[in-house]
Amino acid sequence: MTYEITLMRGVYDILAHGTCVYYLLSLLLRRNGIIVTMDLQAFTPDEGLAREIGGHVRTILTELGEDVSREGLKKTPERVGKAFQYLTKGYREDPEAILRSALFEEDYRQMVVVRDIDFYSLCEHHLLPFFGKAHVAYIPNGKITGLSKIARVVDVFARRCQVQERMTTQIKDCIQNTLNPLGVMVVIEAEHLCMQMRGVQKPHSITTTSDFTGAFNRQETREEFLKLIKG
Ligand SMILES: [Zn+2]
């Protein structure tokens, strides 16, 4: 039986600063089947960077004809600076390290499916959101990872300036390189606001992308996965 404890960043920092206290503690707990990891979701924006980005946002708003001194817009530039740091925080996270932080030896060699992983990303052509669901399957080859880690990997790649096609491939490659499974398949279904609010203005269109390796080259294996995510 394995338990997993996720520490908030603040608690982690305190423990990590106590020389090797954190390390010894996590080693001790691991022996008893308790894995200690860090919650990278906790996010503190860099205030200086927010002000710097804010200055540019103020220029953009002014160029668009806005009066940036009016009440409603006063704090907007810095707020946008903080929001965009959050929306791109995936650049500062290491998805392979996240998978490796919960890696277990296991003989299970059937398909593992994590479906309906919600994500929000930014299209790199317009900096408008695209969002939807990611479905991930892999067939272990001696190693499995914590299921929440798969969702975290999706998040790391989503929180960047992206195109859906590349995001699909990056998630696949990350899992393939880290777990070395018999195969990985990733399917992403998303709505793109740059298609809905502007351009062709097709509000209900969904874009689907997929990529796979190894065992998923067999059509029956792909079909099994597709059936599982539709169910
Ligand atoms: Zn776009």
Q: Quickly count: other Cβ atoms within 10 Å of residue 204's Cβ.
A: 6
Provide the CB-side half-sphere exposure for 151 (13 A, CA). 12
Nearest to 93 by CA among 160, 6, 156: 156
Q: How far is the CA of 10 from the centre of ligand 1 (A)?
A: 36
Nearest to 171 by CA among 190, 189, 184: 184
Rounded Cα–Cα distance for residues 98 and 40 (Å): 9
Rounded Cα–Cα distance for residues 129 and 194 (Å): 7
Q: How far is the CA of 196 from the centre of ligand 1 (A)?
A: 10
User: What pLDDT, on a 0 to 100 scale, did the predictor assign at position 11?
Assistant: 56
Rounded Cα–Cα distance for residues 92 and 105 (Å): 28
In 80-142, the DSSP E strands lie at 103-105, 112-123, 129-139
Residue 26 CA, chain-centre distance (Å), reads: 25
User: What pLDDT, on a 0 to 100 scale, did the predictor assign at position 32?
Assistant: 67
Ranges of the chain whose pLDDT falls below 50: 1-2, 19, 40
Q: Do 163 and 122 form a contact (C-beta atoms < 8 A)?
A: no
Q: Where are the alpha helices (DSSP H) in 125-214?
A: 147-158, 164-179, 193-196
For the chain, how many helices (H) and strands (E)? 9, 9
Nearest to 108 by CA among 161, 41, 179: 179
Q: How far is the CA of 156 from the centre of ligand 1 (A)?
A: 19
Nearest to 119 by CA among 176, 79, 173, 168: 168
Q: How far is the CA of 107 from the centre of ligand 1 (A)?
A: 43
- Residues marked active site are found at 123-126, 164, 192, 194
Q: How far is the CA of 40 from the centre of ligand 1 (A)?
A: 28
Q: How far is the CA of 128 from the centre of ligand 1 (A)?
A: 6
Q: Which domains does the chain have, with CATH numbers?
A: 3-38 (no CATH), 47-87 (1.10.286), 102-230 (3.30.1130.10)
| Radius of gyration (C-alpha) of the chain in whole angstroms | 21
Rounded Cα–Cα distance for residues 97 and 168 (Å): 19
pLDDT digits (tens, 9 = 90+) for 176-186: 999 999 999 99
Backbone phi and psi for residue 143, each to the nearest 5 degrees, phi listed first: -130, 140
